[in-house]
Structure 1
């Protein structure tokens, strides 16, 4: 194990130990009487003075979540230029400097090779730097923490507002509805306190918290007298003592675990591709060097030529083409109101074959709505809604999420004004947690008085003597109670939270009512609530399945609710695994299940992360979509983290992509952009690798048999530069619709087979061009003489110039032609056309090389004009080349299933 890996392992163990210590401290705080806890934290009910605050902050740290700092501009600049291909070119520049400048007399020094290679490196690096710098700025804005304050008791003062980052362990904090929990706290006084902690647990409904100290041992998050940073107060009030702050909190421990991003499938694939191409180059270059050195007797010139071969075999524009493809994808996504924080994630989008998603806030709307207002038989009944509305509207306590849902539904049905105009409030019996119900008394314009009660079903049944059934009031017998329970159970299994509604007409002729009046009431029906799925979710899942992406739900919520929601969006809900099941399963057992089970419920953040890791180990490219703290670990572990709507800060920090609108059909567009990006990158990699390999193999053969170099080093480098510049249009090329139908992962092994099949085709036509030039065209220009028959040095130079010019033009034409031919598995130009920009730029590049021998630059590159007959011959060769490549395409597709 390396020193780096050892340190990383040690740091990981330290984090685990720290997390265990935190959980132990929180559990201890939950079980201790409050005075004992105050003593343990060296605090008191009077709060701290300023000196003690500073001491506590020095001991336990500031109440701030530390996050990984973004790379500075110099680090990003360094990373943009330092990659395997750029390093090779930089090494070649250094070697060229010594061979072409240092070791040469002043009059023979040649900077051309150095300048051209440097242009390649600089243009590729700068484009990559510019795009990643833009993405980084967007990410920095997203990672800003929200500033907030909270009420704290400090010695000698009344409770005052202080910034959250100034909270210390032992502080006495006051909480009210709408407050954000500023730290992990133990409660010692509560009043009707409901906490929304879905971002931590995945539970859609708020949970009730109490002040009593707990004795039973349970998971930390389940203690009813503990509240945690990252949660919010929905209703009620409380006072608590701070037990942990900053990185020591539960959310802080999760934040620390996401600092190191896992290597994604895209990064692994790019590295694999890079080293395959580098190995080809390292194998070919020494062979070329030694063959030319021994056959020509000039090892310095042979080294220069070998350097040119190395440049020719190096797809130096791969980083630039890759970055351009990714940047184009990011730009297209920005039109869909999507922020792409990490441009590499665009390709991962296309590679993704499993999308894991949280339920609450991702599949669902993360808000409770009134789904049904039903009579006792389970039939829709607006009278039940009217009574529920009167109860919720006229109660004076803080309206919770159920009251708001009832009022909203009444407004939707346009019943609001009518009901309010007809009734006035007489009295109310407030809610308390022992009764688990609340009542209001109202009177209509005719003087009719009603006591209306709503609450937990079992509590309402307890106070009801009668039931209203089909418009008739009758005794509530046991069989009817059983029938009520059956209806409620059915609704519960559909993932709904159910409360019952009862009423009593003209209860008594007094103005003051109490709990004793909640008796002999009439059960009239139920109100069923649901956190419903987003409207686009079903269509989004269908679209994902169409494109070969399997959707899996990983949630902290309970299994009944999860199954009900998943059924509504069209998922298979037959098989489900719970967090408790996973605890008793080995990694191998879970791997056997991940392909068949689509729903996982009651999961901890660590279990979500474990599932994602095991899916990746099984060979899947995994995306994770979530918006809560409990999703951050899994999002960080995934190949692509996707956050939706208004996620918590840690979820945003973990995400690679953030959707700014609730239209989840953007996922489909992202997948298509990712696959287009991959397809265009593979066009460059495969076509360039095979074409370069074929050309360099041809050079190797020519070097062994020709009495001169088939192409000057500077010509070879010029050819490579012009070709690579024409390839910069590839990111804007079209992809065939059929290609986009399945996930696309980097498969470096396919590059080797592609080179073996198509490289020799290129070599065959290069050799035919050699024969044409050496035995026909060159003698035609040199008075019918072959090279070995010529004694005049100037005539020999002309012979060589004609040959090198002819092969330069043929090489540029075939390399461009192969782009047009092999960019699609269909018949080019008839069934599939290149984009206008690709067609234009490649055509301009070919025309530039053809025209170059007839310009003043010709003498500098040692080129010369060619007879017209050569172009007629070349046209014939290009036609044969088209036929040969088309036949090989069919053979290749038949063997491997697809071209790219």
Structure 2
């Protein structure tokens, strides 16, 4: 989830309130029309194949239609984008997307009842539709005829709906962009409505593509896709993924299933269609981009803290393994007793486990985060060998300076092994200089609790169990020096590693 860098979403319910309101039924001149309202109500009331919010909004203003009897219907589909109902009287009422309905109309009913060829006012109708769409209204056209087919119908008027833009959506989209997530709108609405929504979001420099002029080569540069079919939504997502993006898709309808299935991160809404929820990776309780923004932040926080643990665990374990294997080649005794190895691992694990609750630098969540196995591999080698270099320095000091016996060698190497592993957590946990990044309280408690605790163990009954002896002053000074060396070396190496990684991104 935190890796997502492109989010594709429908307009309705995400960018808009999703509460469609039936504003008006008008004639072809844009004036209120009772006949257009009646025909729209009849079409919505008697159609059975495709329940939808538009019809529900129309039916909220009931009319008396008890005398009407349905004979047949031509159900809605995403290619025709219209729906027709035929009545026993022979009347056929068609309702749908404006351009698709106009394409099957040969005539227009004027406000005075006169029926004239549509060619006489085609340009005027197109201009009015464009003006209403640019104002943010969602339009359907209503037509009728005595035909058995959707052919040579009479355009009666238009149905106008309001779906207000959410008040805070522009700031939410801006926040997503700051976090490296590019929003792409995929809608079945016409280009003017889609452009209006994009402007409301503050997307002034956008590319816009419609389903009719669909071009794969322009998908990456386009932010708004209007008049697209479910199949085209799927193609858009697949093309974006093919270009190396991590693509999320938010949808809640049956027509979104194929797009949800194609996305890296598929997101549905609890109130959506069952098929969409079954396909989705994540089901939201509400259709709100603000919730997604918080989810992305939480995902990145979790991933970043997980990666801190991975960096620590792999490098520390590799360094310890390398040191232990190397020491065993030429030391005439065990470098560390098995019980001391177990205690060392336990003490090292405590600060690493506390990283799950660690604070995360604010700038670290501004970009998508990805699992990078080659980077982890390089990190393990470099920082593991740096860790091991401290072990070799300690071995040299114990053998050739302090002339330690096996018991003291094991105990003192245990102290060095645990202190370097614990203190270095404070350095590796951030890409910044460690004193400029505030760690979580449990991380601090675990680090200094472990460091302080191991030096108290020799004075307790557990000291003899783990074969530990009190530390002397010369080795205490050496231990401070070797930890300062390790912290400085890791700080330098860390800045090189993370700076190079950021440049590669």
Q: CA deviation at 1:599?
A: 3.8
Residues 579, 600 of structure 1: 8 Å contact kept: no
Match of 2:394 in 1: 769
Matched residue of 2:424: which SS? helix
Scaled by the length of structure 1, the TM-score of the pair is 0.44
The correspondence for 1:730, drawn from 355, 361, 372, is: 355
Give yes or no for contact 1:726–1:841 (8 Å, CA) kept in 2.
yes
Q: 1:817 Cα deviation (Å)?
A: 1.0
Which residue number in structure 1 is paired with residue 75 of structure 2? none
1:486 aligns with 2:127: yes
User: Which of 403, 409, 420 is 1:814 aligned to?
Assistant: 420
Mapping of 1:175-190 within 5 angstroms?
Answer: none
From 848, 852, 861, the equivalent of 2:453 is: 848
Distance, in Å, in 1 between the alignment partners of 2:394 and 2:29 is 88
Q: Which whole-Å deviations, capped at 9, do the CAs of 1:557-596 have from their partners, x for residues lacking one?
A: 66665455445444465342538847xxxxxxx4x44422
Q: Is the 8 A contact 1:613 1:638 kept in 2?
A: yes
**1:890 pairs with 2:501:** no
SS in 1 for 2:456: helix
Distance 1:486 1:894 in 2: 55
**How many residues are treated as equivalent by the alignment?**
456
Which of 746, 750, 754 is equivalent to 2:371? 746
1:641/1:655 contact within 8 Å kept: yes
Matched residue of 1:350: which SS?
A: coil
Shift of 1:729: 1.2
* Bigger radius of gyration among the two: 1
Q: Check conservation: 1:567, 1:573, Cα contact below 8 A.
A: no
Secondary structure of 2:289 counterpart: coil
* Correspondent of 1:544 among 153, 156, 176: 176
**TM-score normalised according to structure 2 size:** 0.75
Which of residues 119, 135, 139 is equivalent to 1:497?
139
Contact between 1:358 and 1:631, CA under 8 Å: does it hold in 2? no
Structure 2 counterpart SS, 1:552: strand
Match of residue 578 from structure 1:
211
Find the counterpart in structure 1 of residue 81 from structure 2: none
Q: Once the 2 structures are TM-superposed, how far is the Cα of residue 405 of structure 1 from its aligned partner? A: 5.3
Among 853, 856, 859, the alignment partner of 2:464 is 859
Partner of 1:461: 110
Deviation at 1:362, TM superposition (A): 4.1
Please list the CA deviations of residues 135-178 of structure 1 after superposition, one character each: whole Å capped at 9, or x if unmatched. xxxxxxxxxxxxxxxxxxxxxxxxxxxxxxxxxxxxxxxxxxxx
For the residue of structure 2 that corresponds to 1:707, the secondary structure is coil
2:12 matches 1:368: no
Residue 529 (structure 1) aligned with residue 154 (structure 2): no
Pair 484,577 (structure 1): closer, same or farther in 2 beyond 3 Å:
closer
> Unpaired runs of 5+ in structure 1?
1-348, 379-383, 410-424, 438-455, 466-477, 501-524, 583-589, 780-798
Deviation at 1:681, TM superposition (A): 0.9
In structure 1, how many angstroms separate the alpha carbons of the residues matched to 2:230 and 2:446? 50
1 CA distance for matches of 2:375 and 2:207? 38
Asked whether the equivalents of residues 169 and 201 of structure 2 are also in contact (C-alpha less than 8 Å), the reply is yes
1:536 to 1:458, Cα distance in 2 relative to 1, 3 A: farther
Deviation at 1:638, TM superposition (A): 2.4
Change (3 A) 1:740 1:396: closer
SS in 2 for 1:863: coil
Distance 1:428 1:624 in 2: 43
Q: Give the drift of 1:605.
A: 4.5
CA distance in 2, matches of 1:837, 1:532: 46
Residue 703 of structure 1: aligned partner: 328
Secondary structure, in 3 states, of the residue corresponding to 1:665?
A: helix
Q: Does 628-637 or 526-535 show the bigger shift?
A: 526-535
Structure-1 separation of matches of 2:178 and 2:441: 30
Q: Give the alignment partner of residue 835 of structure 1, picking from 426, 437, 440.
A: 440
